[in-house]
A = this chain, B = another copy of it.
């Protein structure tokens, strides 16, 4: 009899794992349980579905259960795994459509339960109408339907991270008067304040109201149980629509209850083969930590890129192949209107908190040759270890070209480059795309000078 691989969770990590295992191993029986009604979709596309830039939610789906079936991967939607019993290699699975439960046996198990939205303390989702989170495809569908049906005029977003800001743009594009409330004194809290300020300026220039360093005290509704206002420590904000975008927490309770060990971040700990402490059980994606190549420690930076890579490795190992996930350097990016904000490695404040002696430099350069029209400013911040001159991180905020340039810095971090080496890079130049001294080289030269003093 063939071995049976069960995958819990059908988003990026889970379906990458299932597909990869199938490609490597045609004998394996592969079963996926997904508690929502969709698998294999682009979660990061949800803000663009809300705005209508992506007109049909089916477009977000990479492959349907029927397509997986043709690959001989059995997908069960609306099925929640409620218990893992590792001693018996059993799962307890609940069919959410009819409420029935059954036990299923596995030989190998991949936990890809993803993340869940952090919530406001003391507030239950569903308590008030018009209050949403944005995590699953159904959340996106619900928000879009609500906007089309109810025609809200004022939106408040609680949380100024990637999802909060991307959705603020979507709401604004739809004509909603939009306020973002954030607890830290800046947006995008992994960024340094000087870089986040550039994003804040762009948001305000576009007409988004920001209330930072602010804390939500209550969501108040009307007699019909519909949200009416958000009360914060700084004021009261009228709202017909509220999005709670307070960040993502690992969905690790199921695993933890079964004895799967967590890491220092509170997400599931794995080795480079995505194996947990329990035999035959892997974890991948937003429920798991990742090894941070700069700090050498576990990190919880849940992103689709990492989920896909981890899923692929878990699927490879489960399918009998060889692979390792060697970790992340903390690269992330968001687009806020026409501005990209990207970072990789450690920010200045992260590096300082970790005890590094650092020197940081921030430059402004053009995105095109000085004479070529329509260039835009690009800001590049480098964080450099004093003494060694080693690059620890970089942040870029700008228009065109700001995004892929962060990847140059990510590549440099993978290889432990110094700013001197960075300044020697043979980078491409053509006037519509860059100045002859690329912004990265200007940044490296300035950082080199600052660290050689």
Binding site for B on A (CB under 8 A): 12, 42, 44-45, 48, 53-54, 59-60, 62, 293, 303-306, 308-309, 326-335, 340, 342, 344, 369-373, 400-401, 403-408, 410-412, 414-415, 417, 421, 424-434, 436-438, 440
Contacts and interface: CB of A to CB of B under 8 A. Distances in A.
A342 B432 CA distance: 13
Contacts of A45: 369, 371-372, 431
B438 A372 contact: no
Nearest to A308: B436
Nearest to A61: B371
B427 A305 contact: yes
A415 B328 CA distance: 18
Contacts of A428: 305, 331-333, 342, 344, 403-404, 406-407, 410
A369 B411 contact: no
Nearest to A413: B426
Given A305-B438, A334-B430, A410-B425, 13 more contacts: A44-B429, A48-B372, A305-B437, A308-B436, A328-B426, A331-B426, A333-B428, A401-B404, A404-B407, A407-B427, A411-B417, A411-B425, A415-B417
Contact of A425 (B414, B426, B429): B414
9 contacts: A45-B371, A330-B426, A344-B428, A403-B430, A404-B405, A404-B434, A407-B407, A407-B427, A415-B415
A416 to B, nearest CB: 9
A407 B408 contact: yes
Contacts of A424: 309, 326, 414
Contacts of A344: 426, 428
Contacts of A305: 426-429, 436-438
A408 B404 contact: yes
A59 B415 contact: no
Nearest to A290: B426
A301 to B, nearest CB: 9
A404 B333 CA distance: 15
Contacts of A331: 426-428
Contacts of A370: 42, 59, 62
A88 B364 CA distance: 46
**10 A-B pairs with the lowest CB-CB distances in the bound complex, closest first:** A404-B404, A333-B428, A59-B371, A415-B415, A411-B411, A403-B433, A331-B426, A328-B426, A329-B426, A407-B427
B433 A340 contact: yes
A444 to B, nearest CB: 11
Contacts of A304: 429, 436
Given A415-B415, A425-B411, A430-B334, A436 B403 contact: no
A430 B342 CA distance: 10
A400 B432 CA distance: 11
Nearest to A330: B426
Instruction: Name, among A335, A400, A432, the residue most crowded by chain B CB atoms within 10 Å (CB to CB).
Output: A432
B410 A427 contact: yes
Instruction: Name, among A59, A304, A306, A431, the residue most crowded by chain B CB atoms within 10 Å (CB to CB).
Output: A431
A335 B414 contact: no
Contact of A308 (B48, B407, B437): B437
Contacts of A308: 436-437
A246 to B, nearest CB: 20
Given A305-B426, A406-B428, A426-B414, A371 B42 contact: yes
A353 to B, nearest CB: 21
A405 B405 CA distance: 7
Contact of A335 (B335, B425, B430): B430
Contact of A401 (B335, B403, B426): B403
A428 B293 CA distance: 16
A59 B412 CA distance: 34
Contacts of A60: 371
Contacts of A417: 411, 414-415
Contacts of A330: 426
A101 to B, nearest CB: 34
A431 B49 CA distance: 11
A48 B59 CA distance: 39
